[in-house]
Amino acid sequence: MVHLPVMLGEVIEWLRVKPSGLYVDCTLGAGGYARAILERLTTGRLIGIDRDPRAIEAARERLAQFGERIEYVRSSYGELRKILGETRTDGLVADLGLSRDQLEQADRGFSFLTDGPLDMRFDPAQELTAERIVNTYGEKPLSDLIYRYGEERRSRRITRAIVRARPLTGTRQLAEVIERAAPRTSRERIHPATRTFQALRIAVNDELEELERLLEAAPPLLAPEGRLVMVSFHSLEDRLVKHALRRWAGQGVLAILTKHVIRPGEQEVLANPASRSAKLRAAERR
């Protein structure tokens, strides 16, 4: 089953696809945004980027009808400058969340809803895994990581429990250790392990640093009136996007299109509760 990407209508509206334009989907994933862009192109082209080889192969199958109008690039979006070279694009889009496909693949270790190895790598060729972090990092570095990337106030309590329970190898095992150390309160909507899993995933994939590199490279690579559309899912990402867009606007490179952050509509949240934390920001090259 192919799931619709978050805020698809809003993304396409703000991207304002030109039929002859060149577009970049920085997070190809299941190909949802890519398909919507390709359907609006005539002589234009799309470059789809993803670190995950499974995502690339799945997108090739789902988008086969578009032939050579799409180019697939297995890379991190942090390498955007290297990928595009001197080429200017009419629009870039990035969805900074996990795809449903990745969450549902137990062997990837992204979710504790099904048991799997503590992996969490987008690119299986890299060495660092969540298991290595959980079992080898010192107590303070691990606690700092969970606090910074997960914005988890109970990071010290959770880390002490993790260290005592070592070695940890599975997602369910880790989630249970966290839940015992920091039980859910009556005010919490999310599982107690959610923030720690987020922190580990961000650390494994160097996500914030890659996002900073993307935000540094993207605006100069836009053609005049080219648009940048970013969808983030937690405050760390959104803060980086907001500050970068403001900085580029202050330098006269971008014009910010979204005066206030755009959120998914009520119907989308009801149909897909995972979309409730999504935030869209858009800007245009001056």
Report whether 152 contacts 146 (CB < 8 A).
yes
pLDDT value of residue 273: 86
Q: Is residue 3 over pLDDT 70?
A: no
User: Residue 117's CB: how many other CB atoms inside 10 A?
Assistant: 15
Identify the pLDDT of residue 96.
95
Is 281 in a helix, a strand, or coil? strand
Copy the structure tokens of residue 191.
Answer: 């599982």
Least confident of 44-58, 132-146, 263-277: 263-277
Q: Is the pLDDT of residue 142 over 80?
A: yes
Q: Rounded mean pLDDT of 166-187?
A: 95
DSSP code at position 126:
S
Q: Give the tens place of pLDDT for each residue, 192-216.
A: 999 999 999 999 999 999 999 999 9
Q: Mean pLDDT, to the nearest integer, of 252-265? A: 96
Average confidence score pLDDT of the chain = 95
- Decide which of 142 and 273 is more confident: 142
H or E stretch at 159: helix 155-165
Measured between alpha carbons, how far is 245 from 164 in angstroms, rounded to an integer? Answer: 43
Tokens in use for 245?
């867009």
CA distance 25 to 75: 12
* Contacting residues for 173 by C-beta, under 8 A, at least 6 apart: 115, 165
Q: What is the pLDDT, as a whole number, of residue 1?
A: 42
Q: Over the stretch 69-92, which tens digit does the pLDDT of each residue have?
A: 999 999 999 999 999 999 999 999
- Domain 8-101+207-285 = CATH 3.40.50.150: yes
CB–CB of 49/73 below 8 Å? yes
Beta carbons of 231 and 279 less than 8 angstroms apart = yes
CATH topology of domain 106-205: DNA polymerase; domain 1 (1.10.150)
Q: Read off the pLDDT of each residue in 180-191 and give the average, rounded to a whole number.
A: 89
Angle in degrees, CA 256, 4, 18, rounded to 5: 45
pLDDT at 57: 95
pLDDT tens, position by position, 122-131: 999 999 999 9
Strand segments, DSSP code E, in the chain are 22-25, 45-50, 70-74, 89-95, 222-232, 254-256, 279-285
Q: Bigger pLDDT: 277 or 103?
A: 277
Dihedral sign of CA atoms 132, 134, 135, 141 in order: positive
Domain regions of the chain by residue span: 8-101+207-285, 106-205
**So what's the pLDDT on residue 189?**
83
The interaxial angle of helices 139-150 and 155-165, nearest 10 deg, is: 130
